[in-house]
């Protein structure tokens, strides 16, 4: 989705001049640390947005503000028109926006996979027959249906994370926030989770992915870069990653193929720095060698 198309999409998440601070009450006097410093951002329904930033930049805090885990100190966060500061809207917001955390073990609560996926639905008093349908559908969506009677602790990291995602999508959210969901996984596990994320997005689910992996961010419609609690870049992946020097100044990487193209460009070769995928890089290198 390019920026022009985005403008024609329906806004689902609206963030207006958001400020948020953590208070350390253990200090005397208490120490206040401002984490988000006037963030304004729109995310459209059905969009896939990757959020990048070094540790401590405020990206995870931002995600928790969208899910109403954190409430604004000032400014506002609106989900499908609902204000996170309105207590009457908290449950509807959390039904619309699910959150998946870095460590799947922190979200898995049952000893059988299908019971874990059903846990939140039971607490929501969903009818048993509907729970059965939703659990089966969610497990099929993430490719874990055949493991429905397995013990979660015997699964691989990627499988556990897919079960955690199934538990969220069984609640039928319109948006899923994922806070570094692949950080603890091996390459195979990361691929499993990314395939699931892209499938959900193709089905209309709005995705907000916080990640340290640039190759994952390259698959998004759009990238938002946060530094010191402020949005410093917001554009499509090709435009963001082509600014290699700016990204390095922010303490961030770019996809390896983008950096290769950048180095070749500096050396005088005719190659675009907007290359973000291995296949297109290989094609351009082959053309350079042919030329």
Average pLDDT, integer, range 165-172: 92
With a cut of 60, say whether residue 14 has pLDDT above it.
Answer: yes
pLDDT of residue 26: 79
Q: How confident is the model at residue 184 (pLDDT cuts 50, 70, 90)?
A: confident
Average pLDDT, integer, range 2-22: 79
Report d(CA 290, CA 283) in Å as an integer: 11
Q: Which residue has better confidence, 15 or 55?
A: 15
Percentage of the chain modeled with pLDDT above 70: 97
pLDDT of residue 3: 47
DSSP code, position 145 = G
Q: Evaluate whether residue 264 is within a structural domain.
A: no
Tell me the per-residue pLDDT of 188-235, one tens digit each, with 9 for 90 and over: 888 988 999 999 999 999 999 999 999 999 999 999 999 999 999 999
Tell me the per-residue pLDDT of 23-64, one tens digit each, with 9 for 90 and over: 888 777 888 899 999 999 999 999 999 999 998 899 999 999
pLDDT of residue 1: 46
Q: Evaluate whether residue 256 is within a structural domain.
A: no
Which range of residues forms the domain containing residue 60?
A: 3-237
**Closest residue by Cα to residue 135 from 155, 152, 156, 121:** 121
Q: Evaluate whether residue 104 is within a structural domain.
A: yes
Q: Evaluate whether residue 83 is within a structural domain.
A: yes
Residue 82: exposed, middle, or buried by beta-carbon count in 10 A (0-12, 13-18, 19+)? middle
With a cut of 90, say whether residue 185 has pLDDT above it.
Answer: no
Q: Evaluate whether residue 269 is within a structural domain.
A: no
**Number of domains forming the structure of the chain:** 1
pLDDT of residue 8: 53
Tell me the per-residue pLDDT of 121-144, one tens digit each, with 9 for 90 and over: 998 889 999 999 999 999 999 999
Question: Cβ neighbours of residue 80 under 8 Å, at least 6 residues apart?
Answer: 12, 93, 96, 174
Percentage of the chain modeled with pLDDT above 90: 77
Q: How many CA atoms lie within 13 Å of 159's alpha carbon, on the beta-carbon side?
A: 13
Q: Evaluate whether residue 276 is within a structural domain.
A: no
The CATH number linked to 121 is 3.40.50.300
Average pLDDT, integer, range 169-198: 90
Q: Evaluate whether residue 265 is within a structural domain.
A: no
Question: Cβ neighbours of residue 291 under 8 Å, at least 6 residues apart?
Answer: none
pLDDT of residue 200: 92
Q: Evaluate whether residue 274 is within a structural domain.
A: no
């Amino acid at each position: 989705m390019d920026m022009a198309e985005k403008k024609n999409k329906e806004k689902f998440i609206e963030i207006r001049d958001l400020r948020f601070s953590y208070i350390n009450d253990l200090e005397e006097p208490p120490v206040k640390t401002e984490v988000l410093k006037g963030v304004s951002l729109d995310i459209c329904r059905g969009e896939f947005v990757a959020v990048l930033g070094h540790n401590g930049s405020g990206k995870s805090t931002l995600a928790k503000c969208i899910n109403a885990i954190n409430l604004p100190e000032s400014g506002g966060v609106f989900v499908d028109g609902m204000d996170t500061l309105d207590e009457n809207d908290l449950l509807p917001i959390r039904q619309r926006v699910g959150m998946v955390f870095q460590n799947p073990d922190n979200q898995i609560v049952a000893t059988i996979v299908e019971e874990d996926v059903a846990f939140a639905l039971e607490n929501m008093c969903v009818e048993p027959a509907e729970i059965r349908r939703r659990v089966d559908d969610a497990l099929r969506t993430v490719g874990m249906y055949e493991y429905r009677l397995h013990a979660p602790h015997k699964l691989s990291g990627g499988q556990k994370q897919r079960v955690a995602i199934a538990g969220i999508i069984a609640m039928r959210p319109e948006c899923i926030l994922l806070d570094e969901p692949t950080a603890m996984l091996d390459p195979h596990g990361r691929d499993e989770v990314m395939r699931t994320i892209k499938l959900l997005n193709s089905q209309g689910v709005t995705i907000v992915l916080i990640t340290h992996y640039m190759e994952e961010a390259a698959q998004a419609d759009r990238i938002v870069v946060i530094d010191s609690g402020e949005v410093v870049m917001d554009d499509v992946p090709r435009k963001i990653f082509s600014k290699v020097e700016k990204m390095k100044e922010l303490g961030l990487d770019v996809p390896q193929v983008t950096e290769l193209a950048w180095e070749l460009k500096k050396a005088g070769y005719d190659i675009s720095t907007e290359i973000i995928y291995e296949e297109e890089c290989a094609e351009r290198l082959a053309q350079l060698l042919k030329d």
